[in-house]
Amino acid sequence: MVGLYLQPNFEYMKWLNFIIKYRPWLGILFLSSAVIVNIQAGFWPSFILYLIGVVLLAGHFLFGPMRLIQEYIESGDLEGAKKIIASIKFPGLLIKPVRSVYYTIKGNLDMADQNFDSAEQNLKKSQNLMGGGGLLSGQLKQAEGANKLQLGMLAMQKGTMKEAESYIRQAIRVGLPDSENNAAAYLQLCSIMMNKREFRAAKQYFAKAKSYKPTTPQIVDQIKQVEKYIARMPG
């Protein structure tokens, strides 16, 4: 029964991805067909073709191919994700929530390339686009928290600890999407407190990070490394 249920859904997703990938060309094809039908049979017989063409082209410019990026990121194909991002020629036309995601992904890809200045610029652009209400307000709040956490980590790499602490505290206050992000945030605060020699606070933040029981190998490894120093700390 599970297989029978999942198969149509999988086929639907394949078709959806196909339409998104080739949406501008399909839009042009429908509009071209509409013009031909309009010339030969008049406007009303061609109306539905015009409508479909306009909807496809509007969807391309307003929503972009952002959905296609998820598959590349999940498979670790960053080059594929970069190609999708590069295919967006007019990001200013994307609707506000999608444009925010666009700059977030650009920032993440820049971080993967260790292009930290560009990453910071793109993440800040994404931050500026977040806010407001609507159906996506809850999701945007979590994205805002994750963005602030990334900006905090960037600030730590630059050695600006005061700025890093500010961003990470804001991230926790706004809200983070899952246990992994929360654990990472408190681990970073723990490191900052260790750097400031505020050992009692460092231990508290470390305990908080562990309480989220993260499973991401990188975070688990960081906890093991920090634990060696925490046990020897005064306070």
Domain ranges of the chain: 7-63, 69-177, 184-235
91 pLDDT band, cuts 50/70/90, is: very high
> What pLDDT is stored for residue 170 in this prediction?
95
Alpha-carbon separation of residue 144 from 31, 60, 75, 137, 170 (angstroms): 39, 25, 24, 10, 9
> What pLDDT is stored for residue 70 in this prediction?
81
| Residue-by-residue DSSP string for 210-223 | HHT----HHHHHHH
* Mean pLDDT, the chain, integer: 88
Residue 77 φ then ψ, to 5°: -90, 80
Alpha-carbon separation of residue 200 from 86, 191, 207, 213 (angstroms): 47, 12, 11, 21
| Residue-by-residue DSSP string for 48-61 | HHHHHHHHHHHHHH
Query: Does 14 score more than 60 pLDDT?
Result: yes
> What pLDDT is stored for residue 6 in this prediction?
41
Distance CA 7, CA 5 (A): 6
Contact 135, 167 (CB under 8 A): no
> What pLDDT is stored for residue 143 in this prediction?
81
More confident residue, 132 or 20: 20
Task: Render the burial of 118-141: b for 16+ CB within 10 Å, e for the rest.
Answer: ebbebbebbbebbeeeeebeeebb
Distance CA 205, CA 136 (A): 31
Q: Which CATH class is domain 69-177?
A: mainly alpha
> What pLDDT is stored for residue 11 in this prediction?
76
SS3 64: coil
Average pLDDT score over residue span 196-215: 95
Structure tokens at 94: 């994307």
Residues 6+ apart with CB under 8 A from 235: 199, 200, 203
> What pLDDT is stored for residue 230 in this prediction?
87
Model pTM above 0.85? no
More confident residue, 141 or 116: 116
Query: Does 120 score more than 90 pLDDT?
Result: yes
Percent of the chain surpassing pLDDT 90: 71
Average pLDDT score over residue span 194-206: 94
Structural Rg of the chain based on CA atoms:
23
> What pLDDT is stored for residue 232 in this prediction?
84
> What pLDDT is stored for residue 131 in this prediction?
61
Query: Does 107 score more than 60 pLDDT?
Result: yes
Average pLDDT score over residue span 102-119: 92
137 pLDDT band, cuts 50/70/90, is: low
76 pLDDT band, cuts 50/70/90, is: confident
